[in-house]
Amino acid sequence: MRFQVKYDKNKSLEDSVYETKQQLYKEHKLQALFFEVTSRCNARCEHCGSSCGDFVPKDEMTYDEIISVMDDVAEHYNPKDIMFFFTGGEPLVRKDFFELTDYANKLGFAWGVTTNGMLIDEEAVKKMVETNMYSVSVSIDGLKETHEKFRKVPGSFDKILKGIELMHESNAIPVVQVTTCVNKKNIHELEEMHKLMKEIGIKNWRIITVDPIGRAKDNDELLLSPEQYKQVFNFMLEKRIEDPEMTIMYGCGHYWGNVLNTMLIGTFYTCFTGYWVASILSNGDIFGCPDIERLPELIEGNIRKDKFSDVWENGFKRYRKIDRTCNETCAACPDWKICTGDAFHTWDFKNNKPNFCARELYKEEFEQRDALRGITKNSKKTIKKTTTKKTTTKKTTTKKTTKK
Ligand SMILES: C[S@@+](CC[C@H](N)C(=O)[O-])C[C@H]1O[C@@H](n2cnc3c(N)ncnc32)[C@H](O)[C@@H]1O
Ligand code: SF4
Ligand code: SF4
């Protein structure tokens, strides 16, 4: 999925980005469907956005329920246009996981999985290959000691490396990626991790930064400081030059300003939720993205009573308007037309404000940049205000927020 701006030479860059987004939101075209096949997990990561492993869910979707969604999607859309991503919890703890992937494959869908890698053995790799897995993203959050302490599973690191080796040996999996969630406890190991990635033959390294959600919310022992964010970005940009053979990507993320976003993700910032991306949570709830705060008012439907395709076509309205994440501050912000309220997964619905805003993090730098662009504090007021109604928060279904 790639956000491509339709440039109009008669318009400013900001207007072109803004209008492209408006158009995309309206058109909505499903490109990625996340199946959170379980919220069970065999790890207890300190940062887990889904707070996984803390409870035993009683309402997990059955095999039949999941494949009925796949059938529905195959009937209404072209499987070639849509990729399925299996996530969790830990997807591989499901005994029927490869029966699900087999079914998806036979319907013609490309599929990928995000996994903590602890259950990847010869048998699993054989099934990955048999069911045509396109991509796997294995989480490694530091060198051995840091990773195991952080994920709270002694002995897991070597198993994960063995799993990666087996997948490489199969020579049949197009994308074997490692995802590293950078936080205060592993940032000092980035350089060594880069060496590790090379040693284990990883050509595709996805770096994400810890978000203030789930168990990481308000956790100052994990959340990065503004200087540390810069350190991560500088590291990525340097390594890309030093080692062009390795693709180092910044995942999903946030609005950081046009220059940095273009350098990090190769395009302008956008959050795909609800017009290109949808997800089905482990209890069957139809949701924008598994990482968004799980509030009852954000549930679009449930696969036990609704057809996914109906909901995709007729629901998801909150995601398909330009001021979907907006408040007075965002609407009056000089970066509004490009940032449009940052990411859904860090939007604070209760207080109707972003939990993450690059301008707050780098106040002085953004103000200096505004001055260069001739934007003064007063001139900000001339930007059209389009406030959205505050989302009222009733009781939450679960206390957790999730990260895919
Ligand atoms: C929720 S996990 C599910 C798949 C699998 N259990 C795993 O750990 O890879 C998917 C990804 O989300 C990341 N993640 C979890 N909590 C996060 C947070 N608070 N901020 C950023 N990423 C987070 C994990 O590190 C992992 O790479
Ligand atoms: S990040 Fe993944 S492995 Fe860690 S607790 Fe959450 S779901 Fe489990
Ligand atoms: S205030 Fe922050 S989150 Fe809102 S539009 Fe501006 S930069 Fe984005």
The pLDDT score that the predictor gives to residue 217 is: 87
| Angstrom distance (rounded) from CA 293 to CA 308 | 20
Q: Nearest C-alpha to atom 6 of ligand 2 is from which residue?
A: 48
Q: How far apart are CA 60 and CA 165, in angstroms?
A: 32
Cα of 293 vs centre of ligand 1, distance in Å, is: 14
Q: Of 50-54, 97-101, 255-259, 280-284, where does mean pLDDT reach its minimum?
A: 50-54
Nearest Cα residue to 167 out of 129, 115, 198:
129
Question: Which residues touch 155 (CB under 8 Å, ≥6 apart)?
Answer: 148
pLDDT surpassing 90 at residue 144: yes
Pocket test for ligand 3, best of 328, 329, 355, 383 (most atoms within 8 A of CB): 329
pLDDT tier at 66, thresholds 50, 70, 90: very high
Mean pLDDT taken over the chain: 90
- Average pLDDT on 36-57 reads 84
Q: Which two tokens stand for residue 230?
A: 């810069």
Least confident range of 265-269, 287-291, 353-357: 265-269
Q: Which residues pair with 277 in a beta bridge?
A: 32, 273
Q: What pairing do the DSSP bridges indicate for beta strands 32-36 and 353-354?
A: unpaired
C-alpha to C-alpha distance for 369 and 20, rounded to whole angstroms? 24
| Mutate which of 356, 357, 361, 375 for ligand 3 pocket (most atoms within 8 A of beta carbon) | 357
| Mean pLDDT calculated for residue range 351-372 | 89
Residue 377: the pLDDT is 64
User: 3-class secondary structure for 231-270?
Assistant: HHHHHHHHHHHHCCCCEEEECCCCCCCHHHHHHHHCCCCC
Decide: 335 in ligand 3 pocket, CB within 6 A: yes
Q: For atom 3 of ligand 1, which residue has the closest CA?
A: 88
Give the SS3 label for residue 287. Answer: strand
pLDDT range class, residue 393, cuts 50, 70, 90 = very low
Whether the per-residue pLDDT at 403 is higher than 50: the answer is: no
Q: What value does the CA radius of gyration of the chain take, rounded to a whole number of Å?
A: 21
Residue 370 CA to residue 79 CA, distance in Å, equals: 45
Q: Which two three-digit tokens encode residue 260?
A: 């940095």
Closest to 343 (Cα-Cα) out of 401, 394, 297, 396:
401
Please tell me the distance from the alpha carbon of residue 92 to that of residue 168, in angstroms, as a whole number. 19
pTM here is 0.90
Averaged pLDDT for residues 108-129: 98
pLDDT score of 265: 83
Write down the pLDDT at residue 8. 82
Q: How far is CA 3 from the centre of its chain?
A: 15
Q: Could you give the percent of the chain with pLDDT greater than 90?
A: 70
Element (H, E) at 380: none
DSSP string covering 174-234, please? SEEEEEEEE-TTTGGGHHHHHHHHHHTT--EEEEEE--SSGGGTT-TTTSPPHHHHHHHHH
Q: Which of 34, 36, 44 to mutate to test the pocket of ligand 2 (most atoms within 8 A of CB)?
A: 44
pLDDT in tens, 229-287: 889 989 999 999 999 999 999 987 889 888 788 888 888 888 999 999 999 999 999 99
Q: For residues 280 and 299, give the distance between their C-alpha atoms in angstroms, rounded to a whole number.
A: 10
* Closest C-alpha to 402, from 244, 242, 216, 133: 216
Contacts of 301 (CB under 8 A, 6+ apart): 285, 286, 308, 310, 311, 315
Side chain identity at 241, as an amino acid letter? Answer: I
pLDDT at 13: 83
